[in-house]
Amino acid sequence: LPIRAGSYTDELVKTAKTVASPGRGILAIDESNATCGKRLASIGLDNTETNRQAYRQLLLTTPGLGEYISGAILFEETLYQSTTDGKKFVDCLRDQNIVPGIKVDKGLVPLPGSNNESWCQGLDGLASRSAEYYKQGARFAKWRTVVSIPCGPSALAVKEAAWGLARYAAISQDNGLVPIVEPEILLDGDHPIERTLEVAEKVWSEVFFYLAENNVVFEGILLKPSMVTPGAEHKEKASPETVAKYTLTMLKRRVPPAVPGIMFLSGGQSEMEATLNLNAMNQSPNPWHVSFSYARALQNSVLKTWQGHPENIVAGQKALLERAKANSSAQLGKYSG
């Protein structure tokens, strides 16, 4: 059936389907230079361009990665970098049938008039930046904004998050990039899982209201939600089955089946928790491709293994492949430990 006729519509639908292909998910390595610096500091390395390039080269040149990974989200610096042998990172990805993606938001700043909440910058100049990223080989984009449960969330913060995501999504599609829509509901707080469900339902209903108002093609977007869990400081932890039940309930109530892929963030869960929760979500049929777009839950072991030493590169790549393979199995609902 016809959907909105735009110059990139067919390509957007195709890109989204490729990223949401069975047994694959997204490797998120789009840490800003400041965040990447924190990761490097955890293994005693300085935050230099050389060290960031070396680390990203280890990740992006992992042999066999494309079997489990369908897309990689890059920070702007990485999109324009090459291997030390001079091969563009974008080409390393393409050779493995991995779609290059780009983080396009400009980060969070305080939202005046709210309850100490944040909003996400980056709409000014986004159309021209997106066109440049497309030329450089990017085919999808990411915009991460956050919602805090302990801070409210206020109606103002939720509306601002949803509106910003919808404007970004429309601009991305207009420039050939599939937008990943990510309103991260932070884990912080001691609230029970029911409260997370309530907030997630509110956030996603507003996001879809404004996506529709901005004529965004739902077949050409991907979502990056937080899983519905109790707050990190809540007295009880939820089992993977409970997380799956609440998260799928939320999705079924709020997300149209026209959306091809749901690519969860890990949000501070351990590598194993993130895999087990995803596996639990894929035990029953659902209308989407339910998969992963993990940063920390794919990289923690890699960093620890690598330690910045060239002789550990192969072992680091092995650690990445192990997590990627586990999450690939979890995407198919077949992870068994």
User: Contact positions toward ligand 13P, by CB under 6 A?
Assistant: 28, 30, 73, 142, 144, 182, 265-267, 294-297
> Least distance to ligand 13P from the beta carbon of 141, Å?
11
**C-beta closer to ligand 13P: residue 181 or 244:** 181
> Least distance to ligand 13P from the beta carbon of 7, Å?
28
> Least distance to ligand 13P from the beta carbon of 220, Å?
19
Cα 153 to Cα 118, 192, 211, distances in angstroms? 10, 15, 20
Measured CA to CA, the distance from residue 127 to residue 170 in angstroms comes to 10
Question: Which spans in 80-232 are helix H?
Answer: 89-95, 126-135, 155-174, 193-213
**C-beta closer to ligand 13P: residue 248 or 297:** 297
Which of the residues 103, 142, 224, 245 is marked catalytic?
A: 224
Write out the DSSP string of 39-95: HHHTTT----HHHHHHHHHHHHT-TTGGGTEEEEEE-HHHHT-B-TTS-BHHHHHHH
Which of the residues 182, 206, 245, 271 is marked catalytic?
A: 182
Catalytic-residue membership of 224: yes
**C-beta closer to ligand 13P: residue 276 or 311:** 276
**C-beta closer to ligand 13P: residue 175 or 266:** 266
> Least distance to ligand 13P from the beta carbon of 238, Å?
17
Q: Confirm if 56 and 49 have CB atoms less than 8 A apart.
A: no
> Least distance to ligand 13P from the beta carbon of 71, Å?
11
Question: How many other CB atoms are there within 10 angstroms of residue 63's CB atom?
Answer: 11
Q: Confirm if 192 and 234 have CB atoms less than 8 A apart.
A: yes
**C-beta closer to ligand 13P: residue 115 or 270:** 270
Torsion of CA 150, 222, 172, 216, to 10 degrees: -90
Active site residues: 182, 224
